[in-house]
Amino acid sequence: MLFLITKILGKRQISELSLFEYITGITLGNLVGYISLDTDKSWYLGFIAVFVWIVVSVGAEYLTMKSKKIRDIVDGKSTVLVENGAVIQENLKKERLTIDEFLEQLRKKDVFRVADVEFAVMEQSGEISVLLKKEYQPLTADLLGYNIASEKETRTIIMDGHILPETLKVAGLTEDWVRKELRKLNLTLSQVSIGQVDSKGKLTVQTGTEALPKPANTNPNDQIKELVQRMQDDLTLRKQLASNNKDRLKYQEALEQFQTAMQAYQKNNPS
């Protein structure tokens, strides 16, 4: 019965719970426990109570979807904890959040310095979302001015030695193609625990003891080129984000010195 109720109430009931959903879960558990154990009493009253509570819950969810005001009352509002790099002490007290707890939540987001945070907000679920300051954000293709093709979802087409026909069809592949790719890896279908196809149409498999195909050994020269490119991109980004001309000029000089040094290295090491 609880399984059917949860299916009716939707996935939100088993994800991050709002205050109202938390109360709903406790109440339904108590009601079903009453029906299961108090067999000497009028059991049908328990079913009536469960039915009424389901109607109330579904009605509340419908109203929260239709009205922002009701949604704010039932689910609550998010609270800004850090704005423009400054911690708002009053809002920490409002959310009953100590400094230790706040720092713990930041560490869970891989942030160890409050000074690195530009904006932080506590969501209705209790989770804290963090936006780092511009200079501490990781490099992205957009910041570097690169245009990259969109990535498609990786699809699992083999599971526990069986092909998943629906996923295979969505991926635009056939069973013959799968078996052909497995022969290249000297595998049979029954040996595959997990098989996935990425956006480039490449099949990767897990046998339970190893991952195939194994990555090719990277050429050291290629690794050096990739590292050099990263450093150049980093200096270029820092120059673009510099707050004044003096810093911008310093980054430009560092970039030119680095490029000169690398040209001399490549000239002495042509291979």
pLDDT per position as a tens digit, 228-237: 788 888 888 7
Rg (CA), the chain: 28
Do the Cβ atoms of 26 and 57 come closer than 8 Å? Answer: no
pLDDT per position as a tens digit, 120-160: 999 877 889 999 998 888 777 676 666 666 777 899 999 99
Is the pLDDT score of 205 beyond 60?
A: yes
How confident is the model at residue 88, as a pLDDT? 95
**Using the 8-state DSSP alphabet, how is residue 74 labeled?**
H
User: What tokens does 176 get?
Assistant: 């013959």
Instruction: Give the sign of the dihedral formed by CA 62, CA 64, CA 68, CA 70.
Output: positive
Q: What is the mean pLDDT of residues 241-267?
A: 82
> Please, which residues have CB within 8 angstroms of residue 93's CB and are 6 or more apart in sequence?
none
pLDDT per position as a tens digit, 42-99: 767 778 888 888 888 888 878 888 888 887 777 778 899 999 999 999 999 998 899 9
Do the Cβ atoms of 1 and 54 come closer than 8 Å? Answer: no
How confident is the model at residue 129, as a pLDDT? 93
Q: What is the mean pLDDT of residues 19-44?
A: 75
Q: What percent of the chain has pLDDT over 90?
A: 34
Do the Cβ atoms of 157 and 165 come closer than 8 Å? Answer: no
> Please, which residues have CB within 8 angstroms of residue 85's CB and are 6 or more apart in sequence?
115, 117, 118, 133
User: What tokens does 250 get?
Assistant: 């310093």
Do the Cβ atoms of 157 and 164 come closer than 8 Å? Answer: yes
Residue 79 sits at the vertex; the CA angle it makes with 78 and 81, to the nearest 5 degrees, is 140
pTM for this predicted structure = 0.56
Task: Look up tokens 């002490």; give the residue.
Answer: 89
Q: What is the mean pLDDT of residues 244-263?
A: 84
- Residue 39's pLDDT band, with cuts at 50, 70 and 90, is low
Do the Cβ atoms of 154 and 197 come closer than 8 Å? Answer: yes
User: What tokens does 210 get?
Assistant: 């190893």
How confident is the model at residue 70, as a pLDDT? 82
Is 34 strand, coil or helix? helix
pLDDT per position as a tens digit, 235-248: 887 888 777 888 88
Is 155 strand, coil or helix? strand
- Residue 102's pLDDT band, with cuts at 50, 70 and 90, is very high
- Inter-CA distances, 152 with 171, 196, 242, 261, Å: 10, 13, 35, 39
User: What tokens does 141 get?
Assistant: 């293709």
Give the span between the Cα atoms of 144 and 140, in whole angstroms: 7
Most confident of 14-18, 139-143, 256-260: 256-260
Is the pLDDT score of 13 beyond 60?
A: no
Neighbours of 234 (CB within 10 A): 14
Give the span between the Cα atoms of 94 and 85, in whole angstroms: 19
